[in-house]
Structure 1
């Protein structure tokens, strides 16, 4: 069961304006948008949080902080999502960033459909790990949160979207305590040459 957080009104307006602009749609590198027949609608807004190398902690440490980087809208044509639109926070507020398509659009839609069947209510978000070229559906256990929570909680689930990094199962829900240590290990800087091995 999903209870999405409402997107900031300026973010939605900026996407609607871009969809209504033939120039913005034609210049987008999204053949599906250019070829779409009929109305296009931005739906399922998701806050996009970023987990970076500087935010990782050891397996026994607290959950690493994240930062809210934007809001993503799936662009629906008919009965399916064919592209997505990202917005970003600027000094003047939320504004349209770009359209895109690719495997993460369909895998996001698939993961949201699967999560909707869960009995526990969750607030859907996206958690990006740029250094691993990884994106996960972050199911936040507090469905009434405002979407700006800085770190995943112990009751949250993370669902890696396809394509996922080698060794991490795509479309499989992980407990935060199970997946974050794996990500922290992969993001940890390698030991310096000549440094002593830990005892």
Structure 2
């Protein structure tokens, strides 16, 4: 299936290009592969990064657009990723990074391309669970800024996933969201021994 990858906002892309052109930003990054890159590097495959909030009393789980992530490539190899964030002045470069989520994202995207339905790829972060998923949104005409999770959208947890959640297994939102909501719901505090219950 063709993935309908959204174009990143021009200021977000410009901020990453400026950081890539800055010897200081690249040298100070905790990305040995990026620092050691020979030849040209380019930001590719922009994905909007949404953050999942706590489930509301009506059962909806709000998401908010928090940034854009770009894969930094040199030739055919992905070296690192660059995140941007929304500030009061607009989109700004945040940081470069390496780690398992880069290869995991690429693997999940390759699998998504083989699925029969068209979709719009996004990333969905669940900070409280240290979890990142590839969010395959079914409305390809959406602009990616403020779409809610649809029950039929797919979430593909990226590795490393939290204990008890299989990485790289696609889940319908209606199937996975209740599991996440349960884990995000704070447990009632246990009564102290010797105190009235």
Normalising by the smaller structure, the TM-score range is over 0.9
Equivalents in 1 of 2:35, 2:42: separation in Å?
A: 14
Answering whether residue 115 of structure 2 is matched by residue 118 of structure 1, we say yes
Answering whether residue 89 of structure 2 is matched by residue 92 of structure 1, we say yes
1:25–1:34 CA contact under 8 A, matched in 2: yes
Q: Which has the higher contact order (CA 8 A, sep 6+)?
A: 1
| Correspondence for 2:16 | 15
- Give TM-score scaled by structure 2 length: 0.93
TM-aligned CA deviation for residue 149 of structure 1? 2.7
3-state SS in 2 of match to 1:43: strand
| Correspondence for 2:195 | none
Equivalents in 2 of 1:91, 1:166: separation in Å?
A: 36
Q: After superposition, give the CA deviation of every residue in 1:65-108 in whole Å (9 maximum; x if it has no partner).
A: 01111000011112121110000111111110100010001101
Equivalents in 1 of 2:43, 2:29: separation in Å?
A: 15
Length, aligned pairs only: 191
Name segments (4+ residues, structure 1) moved above 4 Å.
Answer: none
Task: Provide structure 2 residue ranges, at least 5 long, that are not aligned to the other structure.
Answer: 192-197
Answering whether residue 65 of structure 2 is matched by residue 64 of structure 1, we say no
The correspondence of residues 34-183 of structure 1 with structure 2, limited to 5 A, is 34-52=35-53, 55-57=54-56, 61-183=58-180
TM-aligned CA deviation for residue 141 of structure 1? 0.3
3-state SS in 2 of match to 1:11: helix
